[in-house]
Amino acid sequence: MKLIDPRHPFFRPRWRRWATVVVPAAWALVEVSSGQLLWAGLFGAAAAYAGYVLILTYPSE
């Protein structure tokens, strides 16, 4: 089961792929700073997964 489809046209621009990774990572830091470790872990995991799919293993252009 794919949670993120890297071949979808929405992810073609590089800035959208990076934004999909950076926004949840930044929100994880906000959650850590407020002491909400469960939410920080969830958003951190989402950012890590998105980074793996959209940046590390993105199909060649």
Q: Are 40 and 32 in contact (CB under 8 A)?
A: yes
% residues pLDDT > 70 (the chain): 97
| Residue 9 DSSP class | G
Burial of 8 (0-12, 13-18, 19+ CB in 10 A): exposed
- Mean pLDDT calculated for residue range 7-14: 94
Q: What is the Cα–Cα distance from 20 to 41, expressed in whole angstroms?
A: 16
Q: What is the pLDDT of residue 2?
A: 83
Q: Confirm whether pTM is higher than 0.85.
A: yes
Which element (helix H / strand E) includes 34?
none
Q: Is the pLDDT of residue 61 over 70?
A: no
Residues 17-43 have pLDDT tens digits of 999 999 999 999 999 999 999 999 999
**pLDDT score, position 19:** 98
